[in-house]
Structure 1
Amino acid sequence: MSDERLPLHIDPLRLARAGVQLRGRMPLAEMGRFAPLLATPDGEVEVELDFGIDAERRTFMKMRLRAQVNLVCQRCLGQVQHGIEVERLLGVVTSEAQAERLPAIYEPLFFAEEPLFLREVVEDELILSLPIVPRHKEGECAPAATGAGTDNKAGSARENPFAVLAGLKH
């Protein structure tokens, strides 16, 4: 498949046996856990999935995600654009024992008999890719508005507390 509508549910074992590649987009607004973390849930995430079986007969899913999202800057509370580019190699496992035996290059993707809800897997990776404290780069924040509890008055010049010492110098 190429750039088609992505399925809601997948069977990674079946897709890996067939060597399937899936390409498509998912609207950010439809992601119930990820969308509330954004300033605006506009846009889409580009999803590329490659399924296969490695030389050791392990089932894997290679996932690439790309998106531009708007987050709330924690310095100025304005919007800050954040680019997401995620590439993960997931080893499909059905038990903790299998997960422990996975080589370090794989992250475990637990799969039971029922189909896997693809949006949840994509959403998990997007959430993990967000910065802990989103903010603009130094000096890019909008000027902060005068907040409650400050006694700065508009137009008044702030006195230098060391001005008195200037007179004592001579």
Structure 2
Amino acid sequence: MSTIARIMSHALFPVRVDPLKSVEQEAEFSGSIAVSKLDRLQDFLQDDSGEAQVEIQFGHDEQGTALLRGKSHANVRMTCQRCMNPVEVALVTDFELGIVFSDEQAKHLDKQYEPVIAEHESLELLPVIEDELILSLPMYAYHKECGDHELVDTPKEVEKPVETQAPNNPFSVLEQLKKQ
């Protein structure tokens, strides 16, 4: 790793980087991001408290594809879907994204990578990290003690649907004529 990349890794976590230079230098960044700076993530949370710990690396794969690899961890508070009280949830994500500069390049990106579209001299990191944290959200958040007893219970008897008479169809006369 170059001296520049090592120096960059000890700086504050950047909001925006030059993706080409970062890939060329195999730059690494780590730090924390306040959840309060991640507006879209907050839509799923009870409050904006907490921080996300983030580590990212730029580089290439064997085929020369520019990559952004990273991992993040955040403890956030969501609403328990059973008791409606706050519940602490750990969001953990590892990601490997292919850096592209157009929709056309994204179409031709190896299928193992999700694309992240960058401008030639600018890639905003907060939206990328926020997207990955949102993707790591659980489908339903609940306290362990709220969920265990309901998940173990035997299924309730399924009610049979009540058959009802179909409403009058204005084309029923035509259906009868067709049968004749």
Identity rate of aligned residues, in percent? Answer: 35
Return the offset for 1:57: 1.4
CA gap of 1:3–1:81, structure 2 versus 1, over 3 A, is: farther
Give per-residue Cα distances to partners, 1:112-142, cap 9 Å, x unaligned: 235122111111111121122222235469x
Structure 1, unaligned runs of 5 or more: 142-170
On the 8 A contact 2:82/2:147 being kept in 1, the answer is: no
Supply the distance in 1 between the matched residues of 2:10 and 2:91 (Cα, whole angstroms). 19
Q: Amino acid of the residue matched to residue 28 of structure 1?
A: V
- Residues 113 and 134 (structure 1), Cα distance of their counterparts in 2 relative to 1, 3 Å cut: same
Q: Is the 8 A contact 2:38 2:130 kept in 1?
A: yes
Identify the residue that residue 148 of structure 1 maps to in structure 2. none
1:25 pairs with 2:32 = yes
Q: TM-score, normalised by structure 1?
A: 0.75
After superposition, give the CA deviation of every residue in 1:16-74 in whole Å (9 maximum; x if it has no partner): 00111111110011212212321122111011011002221110000111111110011
Equivalent of residue 69 in structure 2, options 62, 70, 84:
62
Distance 1:117 1:97 in 2: 20
SS in structure 2 at match of 1:37? coil
Root mean square deviation of aligned Cα: 1.8
Matches within 5 A, 1:45-124: 45-124=52-131
Distance 1:102 1:137 in 2: 40
Structure 2 match to 1:127: 134
C-alpha deviation, 1:96, in angstroms: 2.5
TM-score when scaled to structure 2? Answer: 0.71
Change (3 A) 1:60 1:68: same
1:164 corresponds to:
none
Q: 4+ residue stretches of structure 1 with deviation over 4 A?
A: none
How big is the shift at 1:82? 0.9
- What is the total number of aligned residue pairs between the two structures? 141
Of 128-137 and 16-25, deviating more is 128-137
Q: 3-state DSSP class of the match of 2:40?
A: coil
